[in-house]
């Protein structure tokens, strides 16, 4: 009776040693795998960044508006060559003085066709929200100062 219990205990002890060895080695493996997982969150962090309307407006101008309006805002983007009327020269102080922010924003949101301008000027209401549109107006104003 005692012998049986002892050997059962010994067996259990042996088993637990084997077990703990196993879990030790699996912790090692897990430890190695854990470091890439640990560095993953910063890689997934960028999404909140585009929340800043000024940054989004700059990005949008650089990637989309520049095609027609040009880096310098003079309406000399590569897409402008075949356009008539040409995109406005934003550096034209007479034009800057003749218009207002609400009108500029309206054209950006509604596009050229809805405002009696060249229909080549696309409507952007579906792609941007009000704060970004306001920042785009500021960017356009900055070309005139
Ligand atoms: C496919 C070419 C094209 C793209 C892309 C484009 N535009 Fe235009 N845009 C034009 C043209 C052409 C006009 C001039 C329309 C006219 O005077 O008849 C214009 C006019 C405008 C005007 C009105 C200026 C005025 O005379 O009152 C604003 C403001 C403007 N664009 C802003 C933007 C912004 C901001 C973007 C990017 C988000 C953009 N445009 C992208 C072609 C483009």
Nearest CA to ligand 1 atom 2: 68
Q: What is the atom index within ligand 1 of the atom nearest the CA of 103? A: 27
Confidence (pLDDT) at 139: 97
Atom of ligand 1 nearest to the CA of 83: 12
Tokens 């309206």 sit on residue: 106
SS (H, E, C) 7-58: HHHHHHHHHHHHHHHHHHHHHHHHHHHHHHHHCHHHHHCCCCHHHCHHHHHH
Mind listing the pLDDT tens digit of every residue in the chain (145 residues)? 555 554 544 444 444 444 445 444 444 444 444 555 555 666 676 666 556 999 999 999 999 999 999 999 999 999 999 999 999 999 999 999 999 999 999 999 999 999 999 999 999 999 999 999 999 999 999 999 8
Domain positions in the chain are 2-44, 49-143
136 lines ligand 1 (CB under 6 A): yes
- Give the residue whose CA is nearest to atom 20 of ligand 1: 87
90 Cβ below 6 A of ligand 1: no
Nearest protein Cα to ligand 1, atom 39? 65
Which residue is closest in CA terms to ligand 1's atom 34? 65
Show the tokens assigned to 104. Answer: 């500029």
Q: Is 142 exposed, middle or buried (0-12, 13-18, 19+ CB in 10 A)?
A: exposed
Q: Are 137 and 108 in contact (CB under 8 A)?
A: yes
pTM of the model: 0.73
Indicate if ligand 1 lies below 6 Å from the C-beta of 144: no
Give the fold, CATH level 3, of 49-143: Cytochrome Bc1 Complex; Chain D, domain 2 (1.10.760)
């Amino acid at each position: 009776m005692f012998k049986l219990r002892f050997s059962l205990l010994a067996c259990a002890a042996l088993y637990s040693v084997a077990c703990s060895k196993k879990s030790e080695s699996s912790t090692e493996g897990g430890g190695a795998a854990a470091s890439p997982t640990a560095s993953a969150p910063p890689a997934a962090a960028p999404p909140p960044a585009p929340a800043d309307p000024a940054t989004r407006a700059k990005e949008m101008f650089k990637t989309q508006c520049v095609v027609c309006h040009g880096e310098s805002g003079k309406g000399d983007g590569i897409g402008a060559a075949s356009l008539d009327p040409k995109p406005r020269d934003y550096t034209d102080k007479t034009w800057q003085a003749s218009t207002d922010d609400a009108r500029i924003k309206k054209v950006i949101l509604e596009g050229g066709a809805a405002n009696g301008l060249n229909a080549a000027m696309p409507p952007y209401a579906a792609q941007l929200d009000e704060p970004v549109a306001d920042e785009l107006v500021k960017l356009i104003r900055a070309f005139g100062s």
